[in-house]
Amino acid sequence: MSRVRALIDVSALALPQATPPRVCCRLPMVDDTMSLLKPTKVMFRVVHCLFLLCLSALLPVAAQEVSYAWHNVRIGGGGYVSGLVFHPAVRGLVYARTDVGGAYRWDVAKSRWVPLTDWIGAKDQNLLGIESLALDPADPQRLYLAAGTYTTPQAGDAAILRSHDQGRHFERTDLPFKLGGNELGRGNGERLVVDPNDGRILFLGSPDAGLWRSDDYGAHWAKVDSFPAVATSPSASARNAWRTQPIGIVFVLFDPISGRHGQPTPVLYAGVSTRETSLFQSTDGGRHWSAVPGQPVGLRPGHMHRASDGNYYLSYGDEPGPDTMNDGAVWRWQPSSERWTDITPLRGTGKQQGFGWGDVAVDPSDPRVLIASTHHHYTPHDLLFRSTDRGAHWSEVFAHSVFDHGGAAWTVEHTPHWMTTVAIDPFDHDHVMFVTGYGIWASRDMRRLDDGGKVHWWFQDRGLEETVPLGLISPPQGAHLLSAIGDLDGFRHDDLAVAPLQFQAPPRYANSQSIDYAGQRPALIVRSGYLREPFGPAVRAAWSDDDGRHWQAFASEPPEGDGAGSIALTADGSAVLWAPWHAQHVYLTRDFGRHWQAVQGLSGDVGVLGDRVDPRRFAAFDPRTGALFASRDGGATFTPIRGGLGQAAQGHDHVQLQAAPDAAGVLYLAARDLPLLRGDDAGNVQQRFAGLTGVDAFGFGKSAQGRHESTLFVAGRLDGHQGIFRSIDDGGHWQRINDEAHRYGRITHLVGDPRVFGRVYMATGGRGIVYGEPQVAR
């Protein structure tokens, strides 16, 4: 059985009133106190208050809180939406789950997605991968999320998040096994399901622990020991470039008409991701299970849907997806006759050039209408097929479609792929949605296809931001924000509310890794990135001398390494240091790649940074060991940083090193289990920022009015409390600027705006780029 966590309120959180700053005073000695107690009761109250005030000054005090407004920097989509579920009884109520960015609910009135999991904090980052979601067909207020990103031993807990008000508040039940919201098979589903006749009952298919059941609205869970052992066998796992991963039970489905309201539904099905016998049925509410007769074997099931006429439709692939799939099929099963019919719209030409099937959706209001999506049909692109006769005949949809890229201009360079979920609105035949590896496309005129017309698609991602930023810069001139984005390229944001095109090509990277500007020449910017084979360009670094408006690839790459990696500029832009992945050396160029020289004193796979003031100075750090290095000859040679600063990070991981924005040779050092330190590149520690016990990310912003110090922003732990903090007086006092509803998991990068006081940009692990500004009083 699992333990239950306390109620988490994320909808009506108000920022607490600002607490006064610490007051220092002398704590009276006992004799002094006694003498003060004699005159009057008024004097007693004064002394008592002074005593408590002084005592409080000796105890840890939470940071003063400043009210901030939080928003996403608009990109639109950007990541893999792994599932969509419409509520069958409420018009417009639909939820989306993502592999690393939490869950969303569509707001019909505002025509945008509402994030539901921004309250998840750094220590629970693993819960932002949503493996499955479930709705109660009889109670539209209830929502369940199966949350857990990875199944590795070092990954955090997995949990069922339970809501009774459409995701405005959640209760949490930890699970005794892991979930893989960002692993193989994450586009299958749904693994989690609510009994349509008895909302107390839920079933959950796990990756490696079999089938589980709850009879108290998901608060407690027990394993269904009778489920076939194939669910935990080696055949129910798959391997990708990372490792062999358990896939297990990928969907559970009830037959609602087999039961009656108020009593457990007797008939349900479960599908196991195996090429062996994979579909199982129970006729006694899940107590006993048997294989469905006559089913196809040799492929793995991904989705199963019930039509209103009692037929079932299943999509299959030889792999669970989404990484790869080389073969597949679509089948119809008729339980009344136990008849299986292959209704695959299009056949592949062989396993090397072939493809599988992501999903086959059924129109809830018309059992004849089906929509099926190919998976890994990359030549020329994936396809969508529609049938109006239960799969006897199919029409190809995209051949008669128009895509509107106005809402997110960058999508013009992408074609739909990873279409593992297709959903048809139960209240609108024309409203169809499908997921991709970069967001959601939707149509409201699907039936125009029947009359030979065009189907129009728009990018339905307003409010849904699921990118993983890998680098952020906010130069003192030009665009306020430039970014390097995982699985995309990067963006130049002049307007934070507008989704721009990606950086102008060429070059075009599928994954930008690192970005930097020259401290004394901020219009000069460099970035590194890569494209997966076989599409990779010859050179995986680029430079711009006009604030990122136009780019040019470096003339060549260093003689070794896999591109990307860390890249940095000198303060005057006269030289570039590049540490490509898997290289034995770090390399220096003074002519954007026409010539390279190996740096002396550094091995590969380190982070590099240029001093913001002195063009002769560079620094480097090994994020795995904490070793620090410095150069004072423009990056040609490096020597280890000794002293207290160099020793502080030894043996620590997640090390971060930054150069001061306004002083030569000054470095700031932090790690997740270290306080923030300031020192110099000779190794001398100049300041330890008291109260900080761990730092996830930090950065610098515009000074407050009347002060000369840069505002310092930190995401981490202050006096044991996790939060996002700022200091306008060089760490003398701290102010918390976020609240419990805006935590965004673990912050990975953070930078203040040097031109707008109080504004801070943050890179999340899946919720895109978030920025905060002081709340304007009204």
Q: Is 533 exposed, middle or buried (0-12, 13-18, 19+ CB in 10 A)?
A: exposed
Is 56 a residue whose pLDDT tops 60?
no
Within a domain: residue 301?
A: no
Q: Is 487 a catalytic residue?
A: yes
Helix (H) or strand (E) holding 281: strand 279-282
707-713-718-722 Cα dihedral, nearest 10 degrees: 150
Indicate the residue among 689, 704, 720 that finishes a domain.
689
Q: How many domains does the chain divide into?
A: 2
Q: Among 689, 712, 747, give the residue marking a domain's end.
A: 689
Domain edge (last residue) among 666, 689, 712:
689
Instruction: Decide if 96 contacts 113 (C-beta within 8 A).
Output: yes
> Is residue 432 assigned to a domain?
no
Do residues 774 and 758 lie in contact, with contact meaning Cβ atoms separated by under 8 Å?
yes
Query: What integer pLDDT is reported at residue 60 of this predicted model?
Result: 38
The pLDDT of 410-433, averaged and rounded, is 96
Q: Which residue has the tokens 């991904």?
A: 302
Backbone angles phi, psi at 224, to 5 degrees: -90, 95
**End-to-end Cα, the chain, rounded Å:** 49
Q: State mean pLDDT over 154-168.
A: 97
> At 13, is the pLDDT very low, low, confident or very high (cuts 50, 70, 90)?
very low
CATH of the domain at 527: 2.130.10.10
Q: Determine the Cα–Cα distance for residues 130 and 144; give it in Å rounded to an integer.
A: 10
Q: Give the side-chain half-sphere CA count within 13 A for 128.
A: 26
Structural domain for 599, as ranges: 469-689
Q: State which amino acid sits at residue 81.
A: V
Assess if residue 249 is contained within a domain: yes
Contact 247, 320 (CB under 8 A): yes
For residue 685, what pLDDT band results from cuts at 50, 70 and 90?
Answer: very high
Say if 6 falls within a structural domain.
no
- What integer pLDDT is reported at residue 627 of this predicted model? 94
| Token representation of residue 774 | 């002081």
Question: What tens digit of pLDDT does each residue of 536-574 get?
Answer: 667 999 999 999 999 999 999 999 998 899 999 999 999
What is this structure's pTM?
A: 0.90
Q: Is residue 451 part of a domain?
A: no
Average pLDDT, the chain: 91
What number is the average pLDDT over the span 135-160?
Answer: 97
Residue pair 241/303 in contact by the 8 Å Cβ criterion: no
With cut-offs at 50, 70 and 90, classify the pLDDT of residue 36. Answer: very low
Beta strands in 365-510 (DSSP E): 370-375, 384-387, 395-396, 401-404, 422-424, 432-436, 439-443, 455-459, 468-473, 481-486, 490-493
Does residue 605 have a pLDDT over 70?
yes
- Residue 137 inside a domain? The answer is yes
- Which helix (H) or strand (E) segment holds residue 147: the answer is strand 139-147
> 2 pLDDT band (50/70/90 cuts)?
very low
Catalytic residue among 99, 198, 318, 614: 99
Is 671 buried (19+), middle (13-18) or exposed (0-12) by CB count in 10 A? buried
In a domain, 268, yes or no: no
In a domain, 506, yes or no: yes
- Among 107, 487, 572, 662, the active-site one is 487
Whether the Cβ atoms of residue 502 and residue 508 lie closer than 8 Å to each other = yes
In sequence order, what E strands does 622-710 have? 628-631, 639-640, 656-659, 666-671, 674-680, 685-688, 692-701
